[in-house]
Each structure stands twice: as C-alpha cells, then as structure tokens.
Structure 1
C-alpha cells in the first residue's frame, strides 16, 4: 500500500478516536492473556475433521475464531459452547459430521479462515461460497487455490486468485504431490497440511520460491497434527528441505487446552519495557511453537529482563529502551509492536525480513511508517522492513487501517507520548477482545 492509498483508507474514521492512556509511572500488573487465535483456529479445523468428538478448552472468543466456528457450523459441524468435561472453565465441544453444501462462508478479514477452510470445503458434498471484508479480496489466496486444483478440486474464482470464490466440493479429494510458492504466506502450507489426512492420498507439499516467512506457524500446524494422530514428515525432523508429507489417516478427537496468545501478550510486555515497570503473564508455556515466545529474547535485548516460573513470565523494564537490528522473518506479526517500542528507544533500529507484511490485514510497513512519522517520528521503509530513528514524538491520531496490531502499536506509543488517540480501537476485537479494558486495568486507570 502506498502512502496515498494508506491515507485514503482512513479518510473516514470509523468512530471517535480512543485516547490512549499515558503512563504516569512504572506499570506493575498481572495480565491474563486470552487463548491463542492460531491454536484455537487450527484446533477447530482438526476437531471438525476428526473421526470422533473432541474438546477445545480455553478457546479464544474473538472475531476471527467466531468466524471460523460459524463457518464450520455452516458446513454441518456441531460446536457446543459451554464448560469443560470436568465442569470447569470455558470449553467448546466439537462434534464432527458429514460436511455439506450449499453453504456460504464469511471470512471477515481472517487469513486463517480464508486459507484453512477452502481445503475443508473441497471435502464437503456441494458448493461452498467464500466472501469477506473488502480487504479480504486483496489478500493473496492463489497459493491455496492453485494447489487445490492440482490436487483435484474445482474452484470458481474468475481467475483472480483471491476472494470471492466458490469451491465445488465433491465429498472427497485425491490429494498427492503439489508445488506451491508460499513466500507470501506460510498459511498456504498450513492450509493444505491441516486437511491432508482426509485426502485420499494425503499430501506432499513442496515449497518453491523465496524464503518461507513465519515458519513457527508451520511448526505449530505440524505439532497439532501429530497430537491428533496424523503422520507428518517435515524438514524439522530430518525430512527434505521445504517439503512436508502427511499420510492419509483418521484423526482422533482430543481434549486440547489452548495456550495464551503470546503475540497478544506483546503490548503488555512492551508496557513494562516502556515504563520501566513489571508485568506478569500467567500460564506462559515453557515450550511452544508460538512466534510470540521470541519476545522474551527480543525485548530483553531492547533493555528488559524476564523470568519464566510456574507462575508465568515476568518481564521487567529498566526505564531505558535500546534500538535493535533484528530479522523478524519468522515472527513478522510482532513487527508493529517492536516498531512502536523502537520509536521510543535511545538508538536507531532496523527491522528486517518482513516484506510479506505488505500483504497482511493492511500494508503494515507503509502504515507503520506513515503513522509513526505523523507523530513526529523518522521511519523509512526498506525493501524488506523498516529503519527507525527515534525522535521526540507528539500527540495525534494514530490510524489503524482495520488492523488489530496497528491499534495495539499505537497504544504502546501512547504510554510515553501524551495526546495519542487511536482511531477504531475496536478493531482489536479481531484477536484480543476487550483490549481497552485490559489496557486501562493494567495501568490502574
């Protein structure tokens, strides 16, 4: 997105701007972060394709996950929301059924829904139409569409390689080997792997093209497939580089506990760094495939320290923020929050390896550059990232472009800069419902 197109997208504000709270002192708080969107939506898909009912405990209830659940319901899957089998905690009971059309799936602007569900729809009996927000029509989907056609699916997209489109499910899919270029989104690979156990021949996905972004998300997909009984051969365990093989098999119904969303913990950890305070996030896993776990190392390098105990992760800031030169290719979704912190640092930062962010909920590189600079910053786009030279910032409206991570990035800056207002802070409901309340409670406002 160019700066001019970025400007046109926020010409008409969605609602009154939200005054980002300014931190008058060091934060000292415990913040319970809701479940992972990535784990919740993968868990829903795998449970829907299983041969028996399963449970998803502590699921995230957000726009993206509710869109996924509703889409699966339209295909015939039964999802009951209530408490877990032991009578405690929120849980969803997923009861698989024969997938069927005709159906219409609203993807919103959720990459996981628009990419993970077309392979599922190919297994349904009947046509499944996909559509969503205006921005969803601009996000790349060609990798999934082209691959499904090679694997035996019939799809009408009028040659766009994007939404809207219709998948004509035939009740089964041949599967087999397929080559894709997933350099614009690792979700292309995950989409094919998640449904592959139900393909007649399984699948062999071979990535051809530039370096794959967001590899931790593919590792998450592989780990979760193995938990439900799938056989997966992958590069991480000695397999061929950039090749993933999934054998056909029945999937087990599991009782899965969803980890906290570590990427959504980012603004709260950033608050400790920015204010020289302390924030504890309970239930932080000792081992995880979530990209957000990289925050422990990145934010420590930027001036804080962390301790992982049975109580969770406690992150402590020193009151000083250092610039960083870092390749975020595997953890690109953390870029907006890191850019916000870097704009407040005592030395320049270079964020690399994230050219693919131009294709996310918005062109995040153009949006971050424009919004930070309009507050007095000095950010320039590079070929694959951002160069950030800290400058004294001033208040103003920080636009979000319907992007939840832009909204939380603006809130981070608002901790240290008086008068920052977030346009359409409600967009955080995409993955972090009730963010404004959580933020003000953390600050004791």
Structure 2
C-alpha cells in the first residue's frame, strides 16, 4: 500500500495572505449572462468512449481544463490520436491499438485515475499510474480489486504486503491486450466512479461485464446514469433494470460526432451569486433534459429563495435566476449531487436560518476532505459549520474577512468567491486550482460583477 499523504494541509490559525486572490464584493444587484464551458464529466466520458470506438469521432464544445487535458494526454500515451479542430474545444479522436510500457499522470482527476485502469487492462503491456500528492489518498481499491477478479494483474512496486492489492496510487496495471470479462462485485460506497470506470470499458471485454454494487450506499447515482446514457448513445447494450446491477454486452462502441453540454455544476456558483448579491444571472445552453447532477441547481436555489425561469435562446434554453439578497436555510439530501455541496454550504453560511446538508459522507474522499475543509474555512471566517456522520450542519453567524484556503480543490475556491460577494476582505488561496474544471474562473467572476467590461458584461 502506498504511503499515506494527508488529505489536505493542516491549516494554520491565521495563514498568510501570500498571492491569494481578493474576492470582489458585490456593490449592487447583478445583471449578467455567463457562458459556461462544456461538462467535465461528459467530456471525459466521451473521450474514453471515443478512444474505444470502432472508428474516428469528434467532440464539439469539449471542456478544456486540467482534468480534460490530463485525460487527453493519457489517451495519447496509450496510443490514441487526439487532435484539435478549428478551436481547442473541438477534438478529433482516432482510436488505435492500446499500448503498454507507458505512464499515466492522473493529476488530481478522479475520472482519469478511476476510468483509465479498466482501459489500460486492454493495453499490450504494463501501464503505471500516479498523480498529485493529494491524489494518493483517494481510494482506488474497489476498481483495482475488480480488475484482479477479471484476471488482470495489478501491482504497486512491492509496497503492499504479500498477497495484497494496492488500494491507492501509485500502481501498475499489467495489460495483456485482452480482458475476458465476466461478473464482479464492487463496493462503490466511496465513489460512483468505480462503477462508471468499469462500465465504460466493458463492451470491449470479450464477455462484457456484469457489475454488482455490494456497498451500503451508492452516492452520485446521476453520474452512473450519465455513464449508462453515453454508452447507449454509442450503441452499447446496457441492462440496468435491476437496482445496483449493471450488465454490459460485448460489442462495438460506435464512433460519433457529438456536442458536449455546458457543465451545470460549474454554473452553480454563478447562478448562486444572484441570491447573495441580488439581481439576475443567466446561463445559456441549459439542457431541457440531462443526466448531469447539476440539473438539481434550479430547484435547490428556489428552496433557498431564488426565482428561476427558462427563456428560449439561440442554442437551447437560457436558465434565468433572480434573487433579492435573502437566503433561506434548508434541510436537503445531496447524495445524488454531492459536488454541489461547497456552493450550497457557502449559501448556507449567509442564510437567515440553519441548513443541514445530508448524504455527502463520500465527499471526505474527493480532491480533499471537503466536509472538513468547508467546516474549517467557514469557522475561520466566524461562522458555525459542524460535521455530522454524513454531512454538515451550518448555523449562520456574522462573518468576517479571512484567507479562504482551497486545499487544491477547485470547488473550495468557487465557494470562497461566493462568500466574498457579501463579506469584505475574503482572499481565496490558490484560485488557479479552478483550472481543474473551469480555467479563467476568476476573470469570469469579475466580469459577471462588472469589474471588467462594465455592468451586464457576458462572462
């Protein structure tokens, strides 16, 4: 087993400002339109399927962020040709024989570290996986145990006790060019990505795959539904008629020309800003139906005091969120959309009554321990945020400015920016960590506020 690395640095009582970004305070009601790039979750799923397809394909409107670029680089290292079209968001993917004898840098991307080991099992030799220091504490055991059950050797260079599989990065998947497939039991209580990663590669296994979830809980079910939908769109037969069981038939993955939806979870902080500052924020391209967990954003914002509507736009609907500056506390289960928790925790700290966020114990294994990080940073600002077994209880109290630490977590950075709309003196440490899924976030945020380009500027 790899040496443990703390999930995030232990914060000092009063960290230095350093190069922290001064989060701008809203000086008036908002009136802004924010163009949100493509979904990271969809981009990386579609890249994997394109790499396993039966011919060349194209992704349009793909997200270009650190996570997506790590996926692109890893697929290239495995022998897949990925080239840009007329703009960086258009990606042409030409599959090729998957090659071993290479290394995959996962960075801090859960989709890379969990989606690509089942793909690497199809390579013709060993593929070594490693990533950022923070990535080495993110759980990997269930997907590696599943590969072992399917006859794929996985090692961690002798660090694990004899006869034990690695459970964290780094590790090596010893591909043989083929996977027989069959049936596996997987405990996905810590991450739905264990299920998605295995399903994405399963059609290329000789007998396909039957996967049974055996854990006590299953977080982020919409992400699994997204995976199943993308597989079916690519012509793969998936039977998910039984709860917690997925059966993928062997067969070709169709090459396609597809457009990626905007990332609805990345839109959440911008839309939430309308509640904090008052006024209106619009996001174009909001899908009428989607498997993204971010689809819950409008109804959650309404529960906290927003008015949401949709208007016809040039490229799909425009979601319009209007707030008065009043924010109400809620009691909500975010099991299906845990990635929204940092945004709604920030709103809760500014609300007029307590909030309880439930069903998000699995966030302790994300980019950082998000529950501990949110509790630490909200408390540092004078708030009251307490961890529970499976979530947070946030009791609003007067807040003051502080350095808001991000622990290399992009969603911590955006929640700090949201708090800074109302609390003067908030400085967000390492705001550049947002490049993981939303490059240029700070400039987009400032344009939304009219800091650059004037009121009503499109971000």
Q: TM-score range with shorter-chain normalisation?
A: over 0.9
**Contact map agreement 2:204 2:251 (CA 8 A) in 1:** yes
Q: Secondary structure, in 3 states, of the residue corresponding to 2:336?
A: coil
**Equivalence map 1:20-419=2 (5 Å):** 20-83=23-86, 90-157=89-156, 159-234=165-240, 239-311=241-313, 312-419=318-425
**Contact map agreement 1:10 1:399 (CA 8 A) in 2:** no
Q: CA deviation at 1:9?
A: 8.7
**Contact map agreement 1:83 1:92 (CA 8 A) in 2:** no
**Contact map agreement 2:381 2:400 (CA 8 A) in 1:** yes
Q: CA deviation at 1:159?
A: 3.5
Structure 2: runs of 5+ lacking an equivalent: 157-163, 452-459
Q: What's the counterpart of residue 18 of structure 1?
A: 21
Aligned residues: 437
CA-to-aligned-CA distance 1:206-250 (integer Å, 9 cap, x gap): 00011100000000000000011100001xxxx111000000001
- TM-score, normalised to structure 1's length? 0.95
**Contact map agreement 1:3 1:370 (CA 8 A) in 2:** no
Q: Kindly tell me: are residues 172 and 4 of structure 1, through their superposed partners in 2, closer, same or farther at Cα, counting changes over 3 Å?
A: closer
CA-to-aligned-CA distance 1:127-151 (integer Å, 9 cap, x gap): 1000000111100000100001111
Q: CA deviation at 1:14?
A: 10
**Contact map agreement 2:5 2:136 (CA 8 A) in 1:** no
Q: CA deviation at 1:4?
A: 11
CA-to-aligned-CA distance 1:148-198 (integer Å, 9 cap, x gap): 111121111373311100111100101111001000000000000000000
Q: Kindly tell me: are residues 399 and 104 of structure 1, through their superposed partners in 2, closer, same or farther at Cα, counting changes over 3 Å?
A: same
Give the Cα separation in 1 of the matches to 2:312 and 2:95.
Answer: 35
Q: CA deviation at 1:322?
A: 0.2
Give the Cα separation in 1 of the matches to 2:246 and 2:191.
Answer: 16
**Contact map agreement 1:272 1:279 (CA 8 A) in 2:** yes
Structure 1: runs of 5+ lacking an equivalent: none
Q: Secondary structure, in 3 states, of the residue corresponding to 1:209?
A: coil
Please tell me the root mean square deviation across aligned C-alpha atoms, in Å: 1.9
Q: Secondary structure, in 3 states, of the residue corresponding to 1:269?
A: helix
